[in-house]
Amino acid sequence: MSPRVTVVTGASRGVGAACARALAAAGDRVALLARGSCEPVAEAVRAAGGQALALSADVADPEQVRAAFAAVREAWGPVEVLINNAARLEPGPVAQLTPERWRGLWEVNVSGPLYCAQEALRDMRAQRRGVIVNVASVSGVPGIEKLPGLVGYAATKGALIAFSEALAAEVGPEGVRVVCVSPGSVATPMLAEAAPGARGMHPDDLARTVAFLASDAARAVQRTNLVVWGPPGE
């Protein structure tokens, strides 16, 4: 059986890079998408014996998303797994949440996953199989205490959780699983920029969870938002 074709967004660093490494280690052919260069991560995957394709694309631009997925299909064939990880944070008091910053959050954190899912589903629905894992955040989970200064981020991540549940209900009968994972703090460059000195779980810990959710071992897991706090003591 040939390796699965997997797309990971926001794969130039942090959680996305860790997910790309974990999925490649599991045997997938991994296409890495980000606005910045993914080539260093792709080179590391190849050096470890995996298959990787680095592509530059802004998930907030549907034309760039369409072109990136076309490049993946040309190189490897239909997409079977999508990890929607690309995100924007924009921390700060609500009074400083300008219309431009607000729109930017929604374009990356909600519209981006939609555009990527639409492209991936073209292949998944035709094959009647596939997996979409959306990376949200505990900031978007109702009932969990929120950090101040993240109004826009929390709103978009809550929307992504709802989007995941609704999409799962729509495409589940067609053989496509959609699940969501909501991590607590992860020690990434984004966290360091937003909250210097803050601690979080290692990206590899979250990536292993994402790789499991995308695997056949989790084929019974769907319409689910899994909260991941990290190992005890983190």
How confident is the model at residue 194, as a pLDDT? 66
Residues 87-135: tens digit of each pLDDT: 999 999 999 999 999 999 999 999 999 999 999 999 999 999 999 999 9
Q: pLDDT confidence of 10, banded at 50, 70, 90?
A: very high
User: How does pLDDT run across 40-81, given as a tens digit for each residue?
Assistant: 999 999 999 999 999 999 999 999 999 999 999 999 999 999
Calculate mean pLDDT across residues 172-176: 97
Question: pLDDT band at residue 183, thresholds of 50, 70 and 90?
Answer: very high
DSSP string, 70-113: HHHHHHH-S--EEEE-------S-GGG--HHHHHHHHIIIIIHH
**What pLDDT does residue 138 have?**
94
Phi, psi of 33 (to 5 degrees): -115, 135
Q: In angstroms, rounded to a whole number, what is the distance separating the alpha carbons of residues 131 and 129?
A: 7
Band of residue 2 on the pLDDT scale cut at 50, 70, 90: confident
Higher pLDDT, 186 or 110: 110
**Over 60: is that where the pLDDT of 193 sits?**
yes
> Could you tell me which residues are beta bridge partners of residue 176?
130
Mean pLDDT of all residues in 171-178? 98
Residue 195 is predicted with a pLDDT of 66
Query: Domains plus CATH for the chain?
Result: 5-228 (3.40.50.720)
Q: What is the pLDDT of residue 233?
A: 56
Q: Please report which confidence band the pLDDT of residue 220 belongs to, taking 50, 70 and 90 as the band edges.
A: very high
Mean pLDDT value across residues 123-149: 95
The per-residue pLDDT for 141 is: 96
Catalytic residues: 153
- Average pLDDT value for the chain: 94
CA-based nearest residue to 224, from 153, 164, 156, 174: 164
Q: Which residue has the higher pLDDT, 232 or 26?
A: 26
Cβ-contact 204, 19 below 8 angstroms = no
Average pLDDT score over residue span 154-163: 98
Residue 174 pLDDT > 70, yes or no?
yes
